[in-house]
Amino acid sequence: MERRTIGAAALAVGAVGLGCMPMSWAYSASRQRGDESLRAVHRALDLGSSLLDTADMYGPFTNELLVGRALKERRSDAFVSTKVGLLVGDQHIVANGRPGYVKRACDASLRRLQTDVIDLYQLHRADPEIPVEETWGAMAELVRAGKVRALGLCAVGARAGRRSGARLHDATIRQLERVQQVFPVSAVEAELSVWSPEALETLLPWCETRGVGFLAAMPLGNGFLTGRLRPGAGFEADDIRARHPRFTAEMMAANQPVVAGLRRVARRHGEHVTPAQVALAWVLAQGRHVVPVPGTKQERWVTENATATTLRLTPEDLREVAELPPAQGSWD
């Protein structure tokens, strides 16, 4: 697989990563099977999708334990990214950026992941009660201690910023400017897909001009851009899509033209090319510093996603995708 680099340290990863969250968090608990997910991780590593993206809050904790089972056997094949800063309680999630907590959380992640170093340690969310510089300083100490190789930041939730009239990623960029003064940012993780292209406006250019890697979260639109979800089919109660405005039957039907456009492009490239591969190829085309991280728990989709690296979209393809109607329905 094509390799791409993250940050000034030029950390090399496969051009398409693997989001491990669906294996144990947020998507249809009845379909989560540890052994099947473990096979998906091994398949990703076989294909060169070396970046495994997890977090201590996924589960909580169980996702890191699952990834750790694979790392125990194949640590040299993997680039492990995990996150800190969010605590999961009963029906609520809170931020914790206290330096002492961050250090303890890192040690706990290392144990669960069965490794002595985390390749990319990301701040999941800043704690509003703690200056972000203090949290980032504690994370920098972990780098100096040899427990972490590089630091990353996840984009701030967008809803509050939009209500105030700010651009979607203004708050994230302000945080990035602050922490960059403390220790270099190697990567930013934020949503980027055909139906959520907002990062192209300011966040992606910010990363590109500073040599910061960009991990594209949800590049398949929580599964919608694969074309395999049927409007009105419904989701299990614990599935995040059951509460997402874009996944009501009405909005899924209204957004079918987006999938239809991806299918048209796919057909031009061959009968076996899928809308999902076109969606991933579009993300890959946004810059050499961009690494899409599609989430899945099945080997077949891992293989399909990895193969997207061989698909080269033409200028005509890119124009057609750019002209697709904007997605309807949002958190805002």
Label the pairing between strands 86-89 and 92-95: antiparallel
Give the amino acid at 17.
G
Give the amino acid at 131.
P
What are the DSSP E strand ranges found in 76-227?
79-84, 86-89, 92-95, 118-123, 148-154, 187-191, 213-217
- Report how far residue 176's alpha carbon sits from residue 245's, in angstroms, rounded to the nearest whole number: 29
- Report how far residue 131's alpha carbon sits from residue 182's, in angstroms, rounded to the nearest whole number: 12
Q: Is residue 71 within 8 Å of 99, Cβ to Cβ?
A: no
Comparing CA positions, the residue from 259, 258, 268 lying closest to residue 316 is 268
Residues near 33 by Cβ (< 8 Å), separated by ≥ 6?
Answer: 297
- Report how far residue 148's alpha carbon sits from residue 145's, in angstroms, rounded to the nearest whole number: 8
Q: Which run of H or E residues covers position 292?
A: strand 290-293
Q: Is residue 100 within 8 Å of 88, Cβ to Cβ?
A: no
Phi and psi angles of residue 153, each rounded to the nearest 5 degrees, phi first: -130, 135
Q: Both tokens of residue 12? A: 């090399």
**Catalytic residue check, 121:** no
Choice among 27, 58, 101, 121 that is catalytic: 58
- Report how far residue 103's alpha carbon sits from residue 97's, in angstroms, rounded to the nearest whole number: 10
The Cβ of residue 88 has, within 10 Å, a number of other Cβ atoms equal to 15
Q: Both tokens of residue 204? A: 């992606």
Query: Which residues belong to the active site?
Result: 58
